[in-house]
Amino acid sequence: MFSLSPTKRFDLGKYPRGQSRSVLFNKPGLVNVYCDIHSDMEAFVLVLRTTASRAPRVNGAVRAPRTCAGHYVLKACTPTGT
- Per-residue pLDDT reduced to its tens digit, 12-49: 998 898 999 999 998 999 999 999 888 888 988 888 87
Domain presence at residue 75: no
Domain presence at residue 16: yes
Pairing of strands 8-11, 42-47: unpaired
What's the pLDDT at 33? 94
Share of the chain above pLDDT 70, in %: 84
Does this model's pTM top 0.75? My answer is no
Share of the chain above pLDDT 90, in %: 30
What's the pLDDT at 78? 65
Domain presence at residue 76: no
Domain count within the chain: 1
Domain presence at residue 63: no
What's the pLDDT at 51? 67
Domain with 13, as residue range(s), is 2-47
What's the pLDDT at 47? 85
Question: Per-residue DSSP letters for 3-44?
Answer: EEETTEEEE-----TT--------S-EEEEEE-SS-TT-EEE
